[in-house]
Amino acid sequence: MEDCIGAIDGAHVTAKVPRSTSAAFCGRKHYTSQNVLAAVDFDMRFTYVPDGLQIPEGKFYLRDAGYACRPSILPPFRKTRYHLNEFSAKHRPQNAKKLFNLRHLSLRFTIERVFAALKNKFNVLDQKPFHTFDTQVKLVLACCILHNWILDWSEDEFFEEVVTFNEVETGHGVDACDNNTCKEKRQE
């Protein structure tokens, strides 16, 4: 998807809030949480955690069907197969909308992987907090920044060695190879 720069979604992080405001923080999982809206690129890095999302002209993010339509944020087709478990060798996309949704989901799944890695890396995000809510919000942002730093400067046990999206695009990635090298790798 040309001009797509990433995916956007929300994740619930356990929160402690004053009883007087707890109803506003009670989600479908029946505990108080802050719903963290974030955007990631295809290199598994956070590019936005609430502080004024800026989308460059002509670019867009992928999102799931749960968000309202907004410029530069592309949802899947509604009332069209969208979940990976709905696609199989027997149920291949039969039309352009289903094929689009399969490709959309395959790319958008990046943000699900990033949130899972973030929560696995920083268990404090799923534990009952003891900080003030303002500190809890800053803690989530700090964990996102550390996640990016770890990807840039350290090995990450929650991701296998990942070829970055830019490396694949330019052919300079670990898996980028000519036909002969690929054949050799497949035979090993």
Question: How do the domains of the chain map onto residue ranges?
Answer: 4-157
User: Is pLDDT above 70 for 142?
Assistant: yes
- The C-alpha atoms of residue 102 and residue 25 are separated, in whole angstroms, by 33
User: pTM surpassing 0.75?
Assistant: no
125 and 143 in contact (C-beta within 8 Å)? yes
User: Is pLDDT above 50 for 173?
Assistant: no
What's the pLDDT score for residue 156?
A: 58
Structure tokens, 176:
């980028």
What's the pLDDT score for residue 182?
A: 26
Q: Which residue has the higher pLDDT, 17 or 101?
A: 17
What's the pLDDT score for residue 178?
A: 39
- The C-alpha atoms of residue 3 and residue 61 are separated, in whole angstroms, by 9
pLDDT band at 26 (very low <50, low <70, confident <90, very high): confident
Alpha carbon of residue 129 to chain centroid = 24
Q: Which residue has the higher pLDDT, 184 or 56?
A: 56
User: Is pLDDT above 80 for 60?
Assistant: yes
Structure tokens, 147:
């996640």
| Average pLDDT of the residues in 24-41 | 87
- C-alpha to C-alpha distances, 127 to 16, 33, 133, 140, 149, nearest whole angstrom: 10, 11, 14, 12, 23
Considering all CA atoms of the chain, what is the largest pairwise distance in Å, rounded to the nearest integer? 66
- The C-alpha atoms of residue 62 and residue 26 are separated, in whole angstroms, by 26
Query: What mean pLDDT, rounded, does the chain reach?
Result: 78
pLDDT band at 118 (very low <50, low <70, confident <90, very high): very high
